[in-house]
């Protein structure tokens, strides 16, 4: 399985990233271990999480996903074979949010403890923090890299203007730069990524690991016109966003391609993303080992053919 670099960094990953947002939320520890085992057994090595996962769930405080991932790596003894990405900046509690240098120094230590590791391969700003100068945030990231606590840094949910400004700050100060971007991007949700962010990522060799790669599950095929909504936490939001003429037309095209290729719709949607010249690895979540296997099946499709079929 050919690996891809995360931007200009030396960090290499398989072209599919397992999303850890479900760990400790829609699946428990034992189920999470099964999904992680299946993903690695199938050749995957790239896992993305965040400190805030999953603070929104009743009874949770945040850090649940990182904790489960850390316990799994310790039990399997496989940390050295994996690329672990996590994020900071979202609200974790009173006074625990943002991208100030002081808070970043605290947040990284908490994530390292939960992950039971001494280095984070990709550390990302989860959301932009307009109240903190980019100069301060990037200098703090640079210190973490030089301290050996972080290998590469990235940003999520940045606008094109903010991403360009961040890259300019890093270049001017000769400090660590955002080598990766994590935007919302999939076969249906093409903008604003394609017009606002893609040109910057291509021009500056910034890796891209999009979230909502399956349009929050809509492109998996489990949603159908006239059918009852699945009993999932995201069903209502999916209905609001994609139950329209454009959404159904896109799903129908993906399903036709899947039938012709003897594949699953989710595999076709992921293969389309993997074939884009700017995409390092789309992020997709699984709640069962079978789903993890299904996602990995996207790697066996001919990406160029999929792109042509979905034009």
The total number of structural domains that make up the chain: 1
pLDDT score, position 24: 97
Position 256 in a domain? no
pLDDT score, position 43: 97
Q: How confident is the model at residue 242 (pLDDT cuts 50, 70, 90)?
A: very high
Identify the H or E element spanning 78. none
Q: Is the pLDDT of residue 234 over 80?
A: no
Question: Which CATH number covers residue 141?
Answer: 3.20.20.100
Query: What is the per-residue pLDDT across 177-194, written as a single tens digit (0 to 9) for each?
Result: 999 999 999 999 999 999
Write phi, then psi, for 248 (nearest 5 degrees): -65, -35
Position 228 in a domain? no
pLDDT score, position 142: 98
Position 95 in a domain? yes
Position 239 in a domain? no
SS3 per-residue string spanning 107-126: HHHHHHHHHCCCCEEEEEEC
Per-residue burial over 182-213, b = 16 or more CB atoms within 10 Å of its CB, e = otherwise: bbebbbbbeeebeebbbebbeebebbbbbbbb
167 CA to centre of own chain: 20
Structure tokens at 126: 């989860």
Position 149 in a domain? yes
Position 253 in a domain? no
Answering whether pTM is above 0.85, one says: yes
Q: Is the pLDDT of residue 202 over 90?
A: yes
Q: In terms of residue numbers, what domain contains 77?
A: 4-216+269-303
Q: How far is CA 107 from CA 11, 96, 311, in A?
A: 22, 8, 43
Position 257 in a domain? no
Q: Can 158 be counted among the known catalytic residues?
A: no
Query: What is the per-residue pLDDT across 269-296, written as a single tens digit (0 to 9) for each?
Result: 999 999 999 999 999 999 999 999 999 9
Rg of the chain over Cα atoms, rounded to whole angstroms, equals: 19
Query: What is the per-residue pLDDT across 256-270, written as a single tens digit (0 to 9) for each?
Result: 999 999 999 999 999
pLDDT score, position 238: 87
Q: Is the pLDDT of residue 232 over 90?
A: no
Report whether 163 contacts 170 (CB < 8 A): no
Identify the H or E element spanning 218. none
Which residues fall within 8 angstroms of residue 56, CB to CB, at 6 or more apart? 25
- Determine how β-strand 46-48 pairs with β-strand 17-19: parallel
Over range 127-146, report the average pLDDT. 98
């Amino acid at each position: 399985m050919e690996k891809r670099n995360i931007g200009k960094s030396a960090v290499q990953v398989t072209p599919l990233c397992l999303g850890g947002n479900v760990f400790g939320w829609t699946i428990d520890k034992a189920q999470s271990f099964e999904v992680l085992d299946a993903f690695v057994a199938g050749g995957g090595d790239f896992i993305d999480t965040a400190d805030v996962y999953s603070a929104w769930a009743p009874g949770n405080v945040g850090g649940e996903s990182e904790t489960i991932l850390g316990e799994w790596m310790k039990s399997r003894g496989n940390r050295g074979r994996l690329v672990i990405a996590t994020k900071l900046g979202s609200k974790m509690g009173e006074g625990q949010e943002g991208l100030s240098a002081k808070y970043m120094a605290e947040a990284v230590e908490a994530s390292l403890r939960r992950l039971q590791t001494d280095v984070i391969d990709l550390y990302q700003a989860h959301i932009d923090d307009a109240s903190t100068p980019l100069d301060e945030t990037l200098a703090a990231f640079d210190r973490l890299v030089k301290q050996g606590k972080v290998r590469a840094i990235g940003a999520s949910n940045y606008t094109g203007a903010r991403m360009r400004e961040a890259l300019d700050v890093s270049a001017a100060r000769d400090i660590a730069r955002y080598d990766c971007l994590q935007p919302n991007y999939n076969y249906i949700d093409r903008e604003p990524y394609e017009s606002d962010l893609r040109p910057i990522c291509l021009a500056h060799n910034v890796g891209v690991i999009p979230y909502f790669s399956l349009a929050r599950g809509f492109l998996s095929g489990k949603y159908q016109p006239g059918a009852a909504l699945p009993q999932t936490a995201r069903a209502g939001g999916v209905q609001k966003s994609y139950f329209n003429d454009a959404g159904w037309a896109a799903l129908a095209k993906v399903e036709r391609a899947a039938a012709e290729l003897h594949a699953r719709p989710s595999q076709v949607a992921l293969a389309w993303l993997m074939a884009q010249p700017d995409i390092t690895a789309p992020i997709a979540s699984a709640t069962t080992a079978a789903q993890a296997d299904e996602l990995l099946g996207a790697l066996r499709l001919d990406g160029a053919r999929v792109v042509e079929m979905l034009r």
